[in-house]
Chain A
Amino acid sequence: MPLLQVENLQVTFTVDKKPVPVVRDLSYTLPAGKVLAVVGESGSGKTIHALSLLGLLPPGASVRRGDAVFQRKHLLALNENQLRTVRGQQIAMIFQDPAASLNPVLTVGEQLVETLRAHRSLSKKEAWKEAITLLEKVGIAQAEKRVHEYPFQFSGGMCQRVMIAMALALSPDILIADEPTTALDVTIQAQIIRLIKELQQHSQMSVIFITHNLALASQVADTVLVLYGGLCMESAPADELFLRPLHPYTQGLLESLASVQTRPERLPAIAGQPPVAGEILLGCPFAPRCAYATDKCRQELPPLTKNGAHEVRCWREVVK
Chain B
Amino acid sequence: MVRYIARRLLLLPLVVLGVTFLLFFLTQRLSPEMRASLYVKDPRQMGALEEVIRQYGLRDNVFKQYGRWLGQVIHGDLGYSPSANMPVSRALKEYLPATVQLAFVTMLLVVFFGVWFGAFSAVHKDKWQDSLARIISVGGFSLPIFVLGLLLLMIFYGKLGWFAPGGYSFQTDLIIHGSTFKTYTGFLLIDSLLNGNWRVFWDVLSHLVLPAVTLCIGSFALMVRVMRSSMLEELNKDYVRTARAKGLTPRQIIYKHAGKNAIIPVITLASIQFIRLLGGTVIVETIFDYPGIGRFGVLAAQQLDIAGILGFSLMVAVLFVLGNLLSDILYTAVDPRIRLE
Contact = CB atoms under 8 A, between A and B. Distances in A.
B249 interface: yes
Contacts of B10: none
Interface residues of B, number: 24
Interface stretch (A69-77, A102-110, A208-216, A276-284): A102-110
Contacts of B242: 95, 101-103, 163, 166
Given A104-B261, A105-B334, A54 B340 contact: no
A54 B336 contact: no
A306 to B, nearest CB: 33
Contact of A105 (B247, B248, B335): B335
Nearest to B263: A105
Contact of A104 (B239, B241, B247): B239
A105 B261 contact: yes
Interface string B199-243: 000000000000000000000000000000000000001110111
A247 to B, nearest CB: 32
A88 B245 contact: yes
Contacts of A119: 247
A132 B257 CA distance: 21
A219 interface: no
Given A103-B261, A105-B334, A153-B340, A115 B238 contact: no
Contact of A106 (B238, B241, B245, B260): B260
A104 B336 contact: yes
B44 interface: no
Given A104-B336, A150-B336, A118 B239 contact: no
Interface stretch (A33-41, A79-87, A238-246, A310-318): A79-87
Nearest to A92: B245
A241 B162 CA distance: 82
Residue of B239, B250, B260, B340 most packed against chain A (CB within 10 A) = B239
B252 interface: yes
Contact of B238 (A92, A95, A107): A95
Contacts of B241: 56, 95, 101
B72 to A, nearest CB: 48
Contacts of A97: 238
B109 to A, nearest CB: 25
A118 B247 contact: yes
A154 interface: no
A30 interface: no
B337 interface: yes
A313 to B, nearest CB: 30
Contacts, number: 78
Nearest to B241: A56
A102 B239 contact: yes
A52 interface: no
Given A104-B336, A105-B261, A166 B246 contact: yes
Residue of A101, A102, A163 most packed against chain B (CB within 10 A) = A101
Nearest to B238: A100
B337 A104 contact: yes
B54 interface: no
Interface in B327-341: 334-337, 340
A255 to B, nearest CB: 34
Contacts of B245: 54, 56, 87-88, 92-93
Contact of A89 (B247, B252, B261, B334): B247
Contacts of A92: 245-246
Contact of A87 (B247, B261, B264, B334): B247
B244 interface: yes
A269 to B, nearest CB: 28
A118 B252 CA distance: 10
A163 B257 CA distance: 16
A88 B242 CA distance: 9
A255 B301 CA distance: 84
A57 to B, nearest CB: 11
Contacts of A87: 244-247
Interface string B240-275: 011111111110100011001100100000000000
A28 interface: no
A89 B248 CA distance: 11
B260 to A, nearest CB: 5
B252 A114 contact: yes
A54 B239 CA distance: 16
Contacts of A83: 247
Nearest to A110: B256
Query: Closest 8 A-B residue pairs measured CB to CB?
Result: A88-B247, A87-B247, A88-B246, A100-B238, A103-B239, A93-B245, A150-B336, A101-B238
Given A95-B242, A102-B242, A104-B239, 8 more contacts: A54-B245, A87-B247, A92-B246, A101-B239, A101-B241, A102-B239, A103-B261, A118-B247
